[in-house]
């Protein structure tokens, strides 16, 4: 049984484990004030070509989202998210647990547009309703789509004009930036969003996301919020060492590129077989629509999510690849797919 | 410069890193539903000789405290803690951030007694005040003292009679249980407290505490709370593998014993030199009172916390040892201490 | 300018002010433990023919909703509401501010059905999502519709089977129960819902809602929650005296009947003129669809909300009547309407 | 049985009820946007000789405290209060329920000094602890003492230098300002504190406190916070009308003066009889220490709180007078006291 269920089924890239081994018995400061964390922050600042940002390492995506959003908002302010947004339906009300409503917008292809945001603002004119303040987007999105530079520029401009904070969930930012269709560079982000995070967990790390705060007014006292939410790890070096390893050369991007290529290989073959897809997703998640009988066959050797029923005979499945996805297994899977589909 | 500042200055015990390496590329379920986590839970249940408990792995102490306490209490209920309790002054208001007041009690030697609790109950008779509900203790305490079995039995009995929840923070439970003065066994705990955690971070793990919920009424839906607070790690195996390694034989206790022995060596020598201590601490933290001049000298080669001023000429320092403390460094430190104190 | 904007544009029914005057200088206990509050509770228990309920007087609807819902739910549990529900869009995120997500359901005619609830349960299977636990309905609804006894019975049965709490917002319960189409009796409610409130503010009182808690497990320590949210009025008698006056005879129902009759008079005339309505509303709120030109004319003498655009030429307006609505003004308004519509 | 238990045992001053009667059937806007509320705000601005403040009417003291403090603070920031402070022990954890810790300081005579505050700041140096940000004081205090102008000036200066917010709970501000020992004028307050409230409930109103926000940065969006906490009354006019009546001439001060005089009369006689007091309290609350036998005798005709045991034979009681306290009852009480004490 080989799994395409998600991008966190294995441990860490071997280079990361090796880095942990090599530094293991060196004594250093706790709570992320160690040399490895500091060096990793510097490396990331160089990669994004901006030294005015603040960087914090936080253990996971939900943790990062809830700390950032609750730190950025006053009690009466709300977040806006597309209806498929991770914070809306897959974080057990973590944002609401910090006191903030999330306003859901239908959006398109898992993405938000200025017109969506204008609609929310129009519907929230006074103090009898929450005040929409933070725009939550993810890149790549929950359904594998990515934002183009111009789409992001438009969102940025709208948010600026309307005093909104633009926040990007980058759990799969590596995959987005390494997509063949991508025209964004990591260094564009500080100019386009107020804060974002670079996902480590789903791109080769054991644990850890790098939150990058770009807007000055959002930086103050941020470590207090991390600590208050229980996320200031005593051995913060665990994350520093990993991000150092991911960014000391091109490893972060190489791993994401591999993930995308593996998904792309499967996608290409499916397209050849004239299989349709639920969404257009040029990243490491694809959602082919297959006959139910084929799905059942595949399930005897492969693990994956059946995403949704499409009609009485077919369903969309979700296939996720990662830095760890084996090329051999992809080839075998394609072979089996071909057999099933012919 | 050698550090006695804390017990989280290094990475993990080599056996733990090795276990991570060996399992690294095995695919398994996310969110702590992997085989390693499940096996580690079984091992711990065997060690505590109780299979009716629920066990959850959570990344750190503050995280564990805030999730457990906020899950166990209704909105109007409060925790009680001794004034030196970690949740009171060293967690950035994490418990209050979940909505709950902590009632501070002076206590004695860092510990609470039934008389302390009775005083709190007497002072909170009606709905104009919070309702005291959960008793927070730590073992070993913030100042290195430990609870005897009879002390814990008395607290347990008082809590039972008064419908109070007894919760033990075990960030340094290994050190407490391996203390020469200890008369508690790990398997006593499910009979004496309603929930407790076994600290991994300060006893050889990279990250992770094992929360053990003993009282049935506190178990329901607990994973929802972990997820909502952002603490359900995608790669939960990271903690499962570590706790499996710590408990598959005696490693957890061996590491704590080493830590205690290292502190004990220093303590014995200081006592021979008639040095006084701020508190009686038979665990891996000791608080000798030294002349300020000696402290200054020591600081050129050793890192440690100056805990508090005692009089114009002397201060108490905190020395912490761990599984990683080098015997050679302890010997050197003792030599230097002797030179300074004569 | 006469206002049909809402049912809280005036003070209190004269009998209520008179009751305040007559009792004014009598000394009594604070915080709702006065004789008037206790007597009012007894009266209400008699009217609902159930002495096993707990009753609490709370100043307003949002206050009552947020106290009740946050007291009833554990942190990971969520409320379900129809998309037009007051708690969803008109209470500034008050429920979320206490930590709980509200799951929005489209519903029909402002009402929820068991099928709606089943859909929510199906979509929330595990700990990665909130746990749906409380069903919020209002009667009459935000758009003036009312629940029939059989509809409520079905919801009740569904909730019982699925361990859900059924909570009814009764800001306009008087109007619902006095509707010509109503087949519910006040005394049916304790058998059909777990908690509900009887709205005073919109039915003749200066301030105050009477929360009735029917399910035993929801009663414990409830006054703590009222106090913690700042709603335990020092002069709780202010609400006790008013509810005593409303329920010592039939005043509460007489006032609601008057409000309904005034709306009914306008509605009848509009129907004769073949005006369409946005919704079927047999209570004190009606939503006729009028040509925009007519609306503009009406606005020179009458205040009301323009509810929503229907097409390029017409909009729905909301007309609200109350205990204080003057029959003469209603007659004048009808006259003007007739002139405009012919 | 006559009660000296508190200053909220009766309804409202007759002029206030009369004002409610006279305006009762006038239609006006809801949610505090009516003419009465607006006029009352203007009157208060004139009395404090400052038109740059924002004023909001809120139903009670706990409600006002929790809305203001939670609106003013970011999540990691804490309030500081003297150990007898109302928010610490008598509001059921209302502040903590909004997420904020309150740091308790011993203080002196129920009051805080700059030295107390400096101690708190020194003890909270970094992100492992909450950040002290708001200083909560009350005037008069819980034990009847009052702040002098110079004491308040010193607190103000300290807060300015240390970026702290100075907030005054004025539940009994009338009594403080009308004390014979007072040297503060209402119009001094906007220069000395960042926000304060003028208590109505304990000085002649049925309900209502007037929150005055002086510092510009604390004003933004404040009505959202009132609404979110359930405190934006639909019939906000109820409070506007009352404050208009209290401030359209000198009524507010006359009522407080009467309360103080009644307490003063009792105090003078007790001092003649060489009775000692628990605290020096030149306001409407006094705390004489009486033999337990005398207390028992008094209790057959009078209601009051026995505050605390002083020694085996005597206790301090709390006597509270108000705008409604009858001079005849005070005379009778004094007569009885004299009989008992001779």
Q: Tell me the ipTM for this assembly.
A: 0.97
What domains are there in chain C, each with its CATH number? 2-6+252-341 (3.90.1150.10), 14-250 (3.40.640.10)
Q: How far is C17 from chain D (nearest CA, A)?
A: 7
User: Are the Cβ atoms of A127 and D224 closer than 8 angstroms?
Assistant: yes
Each residue's pLDDT expressed in tens, for chain C with a length of 342 residues: 999 999 999 999 999 999 999 999 999 999 999 999 999 999 999 999 999 999 999 999 999 999 999 999 999 999 999 999 999 999 999 999 999 999 999 999 999 999 999 999 999 999 999 999 999 999 999 999 999 999 999 999 999 999 999 999 999 999 999 999 999 999 999 999 999 999 999 999 999 999 999 999 999 999 999 999 999 999 999 999 999 999 999 999 999 999 999 999 999 999 999 999 999 999 999 999 999 999 999 999 999 999 999 999 999 999 999 999 999 999 999 999 999 887
pLDDT more than 70, % of chain B: 100
The DSSP result for A192-229, as a single string, is H-SEEEEE-GGGT-SS-EEEEE-SGGGTTTHHHHHHHT
Distance CA C79, CA C135 (A): 6
* Chain A residues closer than 8 Å to D224 by CB: 76, 127, 130-131
Tokens of D139: 């005037």
| A30, A67, A201 member nearest B235 (Cβ) | A201
Closest CA to B92 of C135, A67, C233, C329: A67
Cis peptide before C248 (omega within 30 of 0): no
Query: Kind and range of the H or E element at C303?
Result: strand C302-303
DSSP annotation string for B300-330: TTEE-EEEEE-SSSEEEEEEE--TT--HHHH
Q: Give the side-chain half-sphere CA count within 13 A for D57.
A: 30
Which subunits have 3 or more CB–CB pairs within 8 Å of chain B?
A, C, D
Interchain contact, A96 vs C96, CB within 8 Å = yes
Share of chain D above pLDDT 70, in %: 100
C19: CB partners within 8 A, 6+ apart = C241, C242, C244, C245
Tokens of D238: 């109820």
Answer yes or no: is pLDDT of A107 > 80. yes
Picking from A97, A224, A231 by the largest number of D CB atoms within 10 A of its own CB, the best residue to mutate is A224
Rounded to an integer, what distance in angstroms lies between the CA atom of residue B146 and that of residue D250?
64
Q: What DSSP letter does each residue of A123-181 carry, written as one string?
A: T--STTS-EEEEEEEESS-TTS----HHHHHHHHHHHHHTT-EEEEE-TTHHHHHTSTT
Closest residue to A233, CB basis, from B12, B60, B91: B60
* The pLDDT of residue C342: 75
Per-residue confidence (pLDDT) for residue A102, from 0 to 100: 98
**What single-letter DSSP state applies at residue D142?**
T
CA A45 to chain centre: 19
Confidence of residue D341 (pLDDT cuts 50, 70, 90): confident
Judge: A127–D98 Cβ closer than 8 Å, yes or no.
no
Q: How far is CA C339 from CA C269, C299, C300, C313, C330, in A?
A: 12, 14, 14, 19, 14
3-state SS class at B143: coil
pLDDT of residue B97: 98
How many other C-beta atoms can be found within 10 angstroms of the C-beta atom of residue B160? 11
| CB within 8 Å: D93 and B127 | no
- pLDDT tens sequence across B184-236: 999 999 999 999 999 999 999 999 999 999 999 999 999 999 999 999 999 99
Neighbouring chains to C with at least 3 Cβ pairs closer than 8 Å: A, B, D
Give the pLDDT band of residue B112 (cuts 50, 70, 90).
very high
How is residue D6 written in tokens? 């508190």
CA distance C163 to B130: 29
CA distance A63 to A58: 7
What per-residue confidence (pLDDT) applies to A147? Answer: 98
Chain A positions touching C96 (Cβ under 8 A) are 96, 99-101, 130
Grade residue D342 by pLDDT with cuts at 50, 70 and 90: confident
pLDDT, residue D313, reads 95
∠ CA A20-A24-A30 to the nearest 5 degrees? 100
Chains with ≥3 Cβ pairs under 8 A against A?
Answer: B, C, D
State the average pLDDT over residues A220-248: 98
* Three-class secondary structure of residue C199 per DSSP: strand
Residue B342 scores a pLDDT above 80: no
Backbone angles phi, psi at D8, to 5 degrees: -140, 35
Q: What is the band of A141 on the pLDDT scale with cuts at 50, 70, 90?
A: very high
Q: Are D104 and B99 within 8 A, CB to CB?
A: no
Contact C127 B99 (CB under 8 A): no
Residues A75, D228: C-beta atoms closer than 8 Å: yes
Specify whether the CB–CB gap between C201 and C171 falls below 8 A.
Answer: yes
Tokens of A279: 């969404």
Q: How far apart are CA B281 and CA B147, in angstroms?
A: 11
Q: Smallest Cβ distance to D92: which of B76, B91, B92?
A: B76
Alpha helices by DSSP H, chain B: 14-23, 35-47, 61-72, 86-89, 94-97, 114-122, 149-161, 173-177, 189-192, 222-228, 237-247, 251-272, 292-299, 327-341
Handedness of CA A319, A324, A330, A332 (dihedral sign): negative
Looking up tokens 């009282």 gives B215
Task: Record the tokens describing residue A220, joined without a space.
Answer: 């103050």
In angstroms, the separation between the Cα of residue D225 and the nearest Cα of chain A is 6
Beta-ladder partners of B81: B104, B136
pLDDT in tens, D223-271: 999 999 999 999 999 999 999 999 999 999 999 999 999 999 999 999 9
Q: Within a 13 Å sphere around the CA of B132, how many CA atoms are in the beta-carbon half?
A: 22
Minimum distance, in Å, between the CA of residue A67 and any CA atom of chain C: 15
Chain C nearest-CA residue for D225: C92
Contact D323, D258 (CB under 8 A): yes
Q: Tens digit of pLDDT for each residue in D28-83?
A: 999 999 999 999 999 999 999 999 999 999 999 999 999 999 999 999 999 999 99
Is B223 in contact with C75 (Cβ distance < 8 A)? no
Largest CA distance in chain D: 61
CB–CB contact B97 D99 (8 Å): yes
Confidence at residue A65, expressed as pLDDT on a 0 to 100 scale:
98
């Amino acid at each position: 049984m080989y799994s395409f269920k998600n991008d966190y089924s294995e441990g860490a890239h071997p280079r990361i484990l090796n880095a942990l081994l090599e530094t293991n018995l060196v004594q250093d400061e706790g709570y992320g004030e160690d040399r490895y964390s500091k060096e990793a922050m510097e490396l990331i600042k160089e990669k994004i070509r901006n030294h005015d940002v603040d960087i914090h390492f936080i253990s996971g995506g939900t943790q990062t989202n809830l700390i950032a959003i609750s730190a950025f908002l006053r009690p009466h302010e709300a977040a806006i998210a597309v209806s498929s947004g991770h914070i809306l339906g897959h974080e057990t009300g973590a944002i609401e647990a910090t006191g903030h409503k999330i306003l859901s917008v239908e959006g398109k292809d898992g993405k938000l547009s200025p017109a969506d945001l204008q609609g929310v603002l129009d519907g929230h004119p006074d103090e009898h309703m929450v005040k929409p303040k933070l725009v939550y987007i993810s890149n790549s999105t929950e359904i594998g789509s990515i934002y183009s530079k111009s789409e992001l520029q438009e969102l940025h401009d709208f948010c600026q004009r309307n005093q909104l904070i633009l926040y990007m969930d980058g759990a799969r930012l590596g995959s987005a930036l390494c997509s063949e269709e991508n025209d964004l560079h990591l260094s564009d982000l500080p100019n386009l969003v107020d804060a974002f995070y670079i996902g480590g967990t789903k791109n080769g790390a054991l644990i850890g996301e790098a939150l990058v705060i770009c807007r000055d007014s959002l930086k103050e006292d941020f470590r207090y919020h991390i600590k208050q939410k229980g996320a200031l790890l005593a051995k913060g070096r665990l994350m520093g060492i990993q991000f150092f390893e991911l960014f000391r050369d091109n490893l972060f991007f190489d791993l994401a590129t591999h993930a995308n290529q593996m998904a792309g290989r499967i996608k290409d073959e499916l397209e050849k077989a004239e299989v349709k897809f639920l969404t257009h997703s040029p990243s490491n998640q694809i959602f082919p629509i297959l006959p139910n009988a084929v799905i059942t066959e595949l399930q005897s050797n492969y693990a994956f999510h059946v995403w949704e029923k499409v009609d009485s005979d077919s369903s969309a499945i979700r296939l996720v690849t990662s830095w760890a996805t084996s090329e051999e297994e992809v080839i075998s899977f394609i072979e089996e797919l071909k057999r099933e589909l012919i």
